[in-house]
Amino acid sequence: MDPEVIAKLLSGNASDPLAALTPREREVLGLMAEGCSNAAIAARLHFSEGAVGKHTANIFAKLGISASDDTNRRVLAVLAYLGS
């Protein structure tokens, strides 16, 4: 069984889709929810835009948000954040 799934079950947060995110990923997602661009997030957190892109990709993967022509993944991630 996947260690992340076990950790979720043991923590009692299996229903919280954000439980799998690291504190840094939650911080990046919070800034996305404020409407910040990757450049603005990078400047605020003092790291590169590439690092923001990696965190964003991890957020999408952990939330199960795949690329689609019909949806905006940033919006879906922010909606998950606001709904938690």
* Position 80 pLDDT exceeds 90: no
pLDDT by residue (tens digit) across 18-51? 889 999 999 999 999 999 999 999 999 999 999 9
Rounded to 5°, angle at Cα 21 from 18 and 25: 115
Question: Residue with structure tokens 């229903």?
Answer: 15
Q: Closest Cα to residue 33, out of 65, 84, 77?
A: 77
Q: Would you say 32 and 77 are in contact if contact means Cβ atoms under 8 Å apart?
A: yes
d(CA 56, CA 29): 8
Confidence (pTM): 0.77
* Position 2 pLDDT exceeds 70: no
DSSP string spanning 63-83? TT----SSS-HHHHHHHHHHH
| Domains of the chain with bracketed CATH | 22-83 (1.10.10.10)
pLDDT confidence bin for 7, thresholds 50/70/90: low
